[in-house]
Amino acid sequence: MSLPKNRVTQPPKRITLRDIADKLNVSHATVSLALRNHPRVSESVRDKIQKTAKKLGYTPDPMLSALAQYRLNNKENTTTHSLALINSYRNPQKIHDLQEFNLYFKGAKDTAGELGFKLEEFSITDLSLGRLDTILKTRNIRGLLLSPPDTSIDFQWEKFPWKDYATVRFGRSSECPRTHFVTSAQESNTIRAFDHIRNRGYNRIGFVTRYTRRRLFGSGFLWAQLELPAKQRLPILYIPRNATATQNSKSLDLWVQKNNPDAILSDEPELMKILNRIGYQVPEDIALATTSLHDTPIDTGIDQKPEEIGKAAARTLISMLHSQYFGLPATSNEILIEGQWKDGTTLPKQITTGRT
C-alpha cells in the first residue's frame, strides 16, 4: 500500500550516549569517557562500549561536540590543559643548544598557548617509561610532542602505552614510535636550493652530506641534477658518521680535486671548517650553500622555517586531542613545511657562467 502523498517520513532517531548507557547498564559519563579512549575507563569496558556504539550506529552530534569543546576551552577553573614535550636527549640541555630545535619548541609553545594549552617539557633520561606514563596520567596530560631523538640512546618505545595518548613527533630521523610527524620538505627544499645556485651562475654543483637513510636532502639533489648535462653531474660525497677529522679532510680534499666543484650544497655544519683546514677559501675558491641555515656558519641557503614546523606540530596535536584520536595510527601522516631560500655572502652571484 502506498503512503498518502502528504505524509512525511520521519528520519531515524539519533542514537545518543544515554541509549548506549542504558543498553549496557553503565553511566552516561562512563560512555562519554570510553568513546574518548580515556584511561580512567578500563580497556575491557572501553572496548565493550565502543563495539556497542558501533553496532547501534552511534555517531557524534557535530554541533554538540563543537559546543562541548567550546565550553571546555572557556571553562574557568584551576586546571591547566597541558601538552608534554618529551626531551629524549642524554644531556637534556644539549638539544636547547641547537637553534633549529629551540625554534621548533618556541613555535609549538606559542601556538599551544594561543589555543588554550600549556606546553611542559619532560626529560626522560632519568625516568623509566613506566614512571613517565604515571606522571603524565597523574597530571592528566594526554598530548605528546616527541623531540628529535638522541641516536645514542635506545629507548624501548614499544613498551610505552601509546593507546592512551595523542602523539606527534618532530622530524623523520626515527621510525619508532610510528606516529604522525612534522618536518621540513627536504626533497623539494633541496631542489629549490639547487635551482637558486644555478641561477646565480654556478654550473658544477656538488653535494656533501653525512649519510643517514631517513634524510632526503640527497635524493632531492640527485633529482635536481638530472637537468644538467651528464658531464656536469657530480657524485655526492658521503661523510662517514664516525669518521675522524683527518679522514673527513682527506676524503673531501680528494673529492674536490677529482670533481672540481665551483659550488657545494650541504647539510653538514662543519663543511666550511673542513674546507678551510685543507686550504680552500669560501667563497673565493668554492662557494657554499646549506640546506638548513640554522646552527651553521654558512649564511646562504634554505631557511627550513623551524618555528612553522613547531606551530604545525602543536596544531596537529591539539586537533587530535579534540577528536579523541589516541594511539598509534595505522598509517602515519607526514606534514611537510616548505622552506625559503635566503641569499648570503658564502654564495655570491657569479659574473661569468662558472666553470664547465
Q: Model confidence at 65, in pLDDT bands (50, 70, 90)? A: low
Residue-wise DSSP of 87-140:
E--SSGGGGGG-HHHHHHHHHHHHHHHHTT-EEEEEE-TTS-HHHHHHHHHHTT
Query: What is the reported pLDDT for 236?
Result: 96
**Residue 356 pLDDT greater than 50, yes or no:** no
Q: Are 252 and 278 in contact (CB under 8 A)?
A: yes
Coil, strand, or helix at residue 82?
Answer: strand
Determine how β-strand 340-342 pairs with β-strand 334-337.
unpaired
Alpha carbons 232 and 103: distance in angstroms, whole number: 37
Please state, rounded to an integer, the average pLDDT across all residues of the chain. 87
The distance of Cα 155 from the centroid of its chain, to the nearest Å, equals 19
Q: Read off the pLDDT band of 2 (50, 70, 90).
A: low
pLDDT at 74 over 80: no
Question: Could you tell me the three cell numbers for 280?
Answer: 680552500
pLDDT tens-digit profile of 288-327? 999 999 999 999 999 999 999 999 999 999 999 998 899 9
Q: Which domains does the chain have, with CATH numbers?
A: 13-54 (1.10.260.40), 82-185+307-339 (3.40.50.2300), 186-303 (3.40.50.2300)
pLDDT at 78: 38
Portion of the chain with pLDDT greater than 70, in percent: 89
Q: Which of 183, 192, 207 is nearest to 259 (CA)?
A: 207
154-171 average pLDDT score? 90
Q: How high is the pLDDT of residue 41?
A: 78
Percent of the chain with pLDDT over 90: 62
Over range 10-24, report the average pLDDT. 76
Tell the burial category of 215 from Cβ atoms under 10 Å away from its Cβ (0-12, 13-18, 19+): middle
> What number is the average pLDDT over the span 121-125?
90
pLDDT of residue 9: 52
Once rounded to an integer, what is the mean pLDDT over residues 122-148? 92
